[in-house]
Amino acid sequence: MKRLDEARREIEYLREQILYHDYRYYVLDSPEISDAEYDQLMRRLRELEAEFPEFVTPDSPTQRVGGAPLSSFQQVEHPLPLLSLDNAFTEEELRAFHQRVQRRLAGQPIVYVVEPKIDGLAVSLIYENGVFVRGATRGDGERGEDITENLRTIPSVPLRLRGENLPPVLEVRGEAYMDRQDFDELNRARAEQGEPLFANPRNAAAGSLRQLDPRVTASRRLNVFFYALGYHEGLELETHWQVLEYFKTVGLRVNSLIERCSSIDEVWDFCQRMQGLRSSLTYDIDGVVVKVDSLAAQAALGATGRSPRWAIAFKYPAEEATTVVEDIIVQVGRTGALTPLAILRPVEVAGSTVSRATLHNADVLRAKDVRIGDTVIIRKAGDVIPEIVKPVESKRTGKERVFTFPDRCPVCGAEVQRLPGEAVTRCIGKACPAQLVEGLVHFASRGAMDIEGLGPALISQLVEAGLVKDPSDLYFLDPGKLQALPRMGKKSIENLMAAIEASKSRPLARVIFALGIRLVGEAAARELALRFRSMERLKNASREELQAVPMIGDKIAESIISFMDEPQNQRMIQRLAEAGVTMAEEEPEDAPTVRPLEGKTVVLTGTLARYSRQEAAELVRSLGGRVTSSVSRNTDYVVAGANPGSKLTKAQELGIPVLSEEDLQAWLEE
């Protein structure tokens, strides 16, 4: 009996904790514990519930995926109809709305609440005494589909509300949506599986919620923002703002960008500000919803037909448009990646003209089945490059041409290769001019060698004229030969030569970044420069040494090694060094000036008294040495501490000098 009581109490405690941390995470957006700690709470709760199934309740946080697949959705009647909104597309229409409201409220001061209009799908949820009991889609506004089991799987939908004295019945409304990034990932995975793609995050959210199997919904990353009160009993609130505040206290997630305005000018200002923010949000919005704050005023204003008189949606220009695919070409990037690109009949979308759109890779091209001549829906959301949503199949005439992905590089004709597990197809041609041009563009770019005036056009000319075959050639250019290039006068040549000269003194990190080693971005290059301090040491670094550097994992280490193994790259680095490009950087001030281990390979074994393994390795490096993990004929010294293992035996067998910690120390003090 005691044990049972204890278990019940612990279960209740864990549920309280989880509810609290959900609130911190989803509502306050300020978690107090790590994901691992949260998982720990869930794990313990699951354990206890497995042992004491009599305590499992439907509102337990473990019960997010319980339901079995349905054969169809039940229709349910909404306790109050879900209205829709009238739209305003211009500032005038927005101000006209305000005038109508003012007239009807006869001079009362009007406060508005302004909210981003989330581009998802409306859902209605009913809580009875704080417990989530039913959820439905909007449907026709009167009746929707019962999607309770699917809504339960969404982490930001509380299964139980927080706090005491919860109303006996509370219907809340909100927008279910999918973050753009989750949408991209979902589509990428679907393309890989050859499954049809979703056109946009809204369709992905709708498709995910209208799944008969809740386990499928659970696997999609959905989210909800709550924005309206529906039918309720036992709740006294005066303003919409208070409703939203109340939502937050009970654990219902509310959008953090919502504001209150006391004039239509402020409302208009918010609409413009939000439009500026639109592309940087993680989710799609299609406008701003403007609502009269006072609930009494709302009631007085009432509704006309399907929409309330107290609210309006200010709509932004669509981020989608239709146009025609005039051609599909394949571009070759710096790493040889082949990217299919659709050439479009230019069209205006969300304020700019779009004339090309990426098709990403062969999988996406196949999944979207875009053909030359197709009429397509394109979408430009967020900061991303415009994308083709899908072809409008009803517009096909039969004259469209299916594009076949090339099996040779369209630029150099070399073979292309697609490694297992990778989505990209690459040109493996060693002398591919496209790769060369892109590589040079990268080399000269702002974050790399920053060679002013050396842009893609000039680079293409240099490559076409055969003056540059790899980046090191830039430093050996003959100014006389540059005169033959179009638009290259004396002054431009002088400027270019000066810019190239200036780039020689860029810090080592930028030189490493400029090399264009696959997967080595600016941050990784900085870490590598910091750790190795010279190109020579980076070149000779072992896999283990590379992996010991922050940010450098398996794949990056592999990529560095294969880059450095390439004789062509070795020669290029050699020539960069000859030209006087930065190849090493000052040691930190306290570093020893004598470098008795310069060029030597050292293996550490056993426990040292004064240094950790990490510190000892640093020390060897500061003396100029290179640390490797296993003893071979190439090893110069083995440093042995207490309890050395087989490495010492092997060193003795091979006759490799063995040093003690003291020897190392003595060198340091020299």
Binding-site string for ligand IVH from residue 210 to residue 239, where x marks contact by CB under 6 A and - marks none: -----------------xx-----------
Q: How far is the CB of 241 from ligand IVH (least distance, A)?
A: 13
Binding-site string for ligand IVH from residue 128 to residue 147, where x marks contact by CB under 6 A and - marks none: ----------x---------
Among 46, 65, 84, 481, binds ligand IVH (CB under 6 A): 84
Rounded-to-integer distance, Cα 131 and Cα 152, Å = 11
Should residue 295 be labelled a site residue for ligand IVH when binding is judged by CB under 6 A? no
Q: Binders of ligand IVH among 96-115, rule CB under 6 A?
A: 115
Binding-site string for ligand IVH from residue 37 to residue 76, where x marks contact by CB under 6 A and - marks none: ----------------------------------------
Question: CA 17: distance to chain centroid?
Answer: 30
491 is catalytic: no
Rounded-to-integer distance, Cα 184 and Cα 387, Å = 11
Should residue 374 be labelled a site residue for ligand IVH when binding is judged by CB under 6 A? no
Rounded-to-integer distance, Cα 17 and Cα 28, Å = 15
Q: Binding segment for ligand IVH among 78-86, 271-279, 320-328, 397-405 (CB under 6 A)? A: 78-86
Should residue 85 be labelled a site residue for ligand IVH when binding is judged by CB under 6 A? yes
Closer of 312 and 362 to ligand IVH (Cβ):
312
Closer of 118 and 321 to ligand IVH (Cβ):
118
Should residue 547 be labelled a site residue for ligand IVH when binding is judged by CB under 6 A? no
Should residue 122 be labelled a site residue for ligand IVH when binding is judged by CB under 6 A? yes
Closer of 198 and 227 to ligand IVH (Cβ):
227
> What is residue 195's DSSP assignment?
P
Closer of 29 and 586 to ligand IVH (Cβ):
29
Give the count of beta carbons closer than 10 Å to the beta carbon of residue 634: 9
Q: Binders of ligand IVH among 175-194, rule CB under 6 A?
A: 175
- Give Cα separations from 58 to 61, 149, 157, 360 (angstroms): 8, 11, 14, 44
Should residue 308 be labelled a site residue for ligand IVH when binding is judged by CB under 6 A? yes
Rounded-to-integer distance, Cα 57 and Cα 129, Å = 14
Number of residues that bind ligand IVH (CB under 6 A): 15
Closer of 227 and 270 to ligand IVH (Cβ):
227
Closer of 115 and 545 to ligand IVH (Cβ):
115
Buried/exposed code over 230-257 (b: 16+ C-beta within 10 A; e: otherwise): bebeeeeeebbbebbebbbebbbbbbeb
- Residue 96 corresponds to which tokens in the numbers above? 């006209």
Q: What are phi and psi of 538, to 5 degrees?
A: -65, -40
The catalytically annotated residue of 117, 291, 368, 647 is 117
Closer of 243 and 664 to ligand IVH (Cβ):
243
Closer of 156 and 582 to ligand IVH (Cβ):
156
- Give Cα separations from 251 to 162, 218, 615 (angstroms): 6, 20, 49
Rounded-to-integer distance, Cα 670 and Cα 649, Å = 29
Should residue 118 be labelled a site residue for ligand IVH when binding is judged by CB under 6 A? yes
Should residue 313 be labelled a site residue for ligand IVH when binding is judged by CB under 6 A? yes
Q: How far is the CB of 576 from ligand IVH (least distance, A)?
A: 55
> What strands, in cross-sheet order, belong to the sheet with 311-315?
87-88, 311-315, 285-292, 112-118, 259-261
Please give, one letter per residue, the 3-state secondary structure of 5-55. HHHHHHHHHHHHHHHHHHHHHHHCCCCCCCHHHHHHHHHHHHHHHHHCHHH
Among 250, 289, 424, 576, binds ligand IVH (CB under 6 A): 289
Q: Binders of ligand IVH among 574-613, rule CB under 6 A?
A: none
Q: Which among 557, 665, 670 has a CA at the least distance from the CA of 615?
A: 665
Rounded-to-integer distance, Cα 442 and Cα 514, Å = 6
Q: Binders of ligand IVH among 484-513, rule CB under 6 A?
A: none
Q: How far is the CB of 315 from ligand IVH (least distance, A)?
A: 9
Closest residue to bound ligand IVH by CB: 122
- Could you tell me if 129 and 163 are in contact, meaning their C-beta atoms sit under 8 angstroms apart? no
Give the count of beta carbons closer than 10 Å to the beta carbon of residue 550: 11
Which residues of the chain form contacts with ligand IVH (CB under 6 A)? 83-85, 115, 117-118, 122, 138, 175, 227-228, 289, 308, 311, 313
Catalytic (active-site) positions: 117
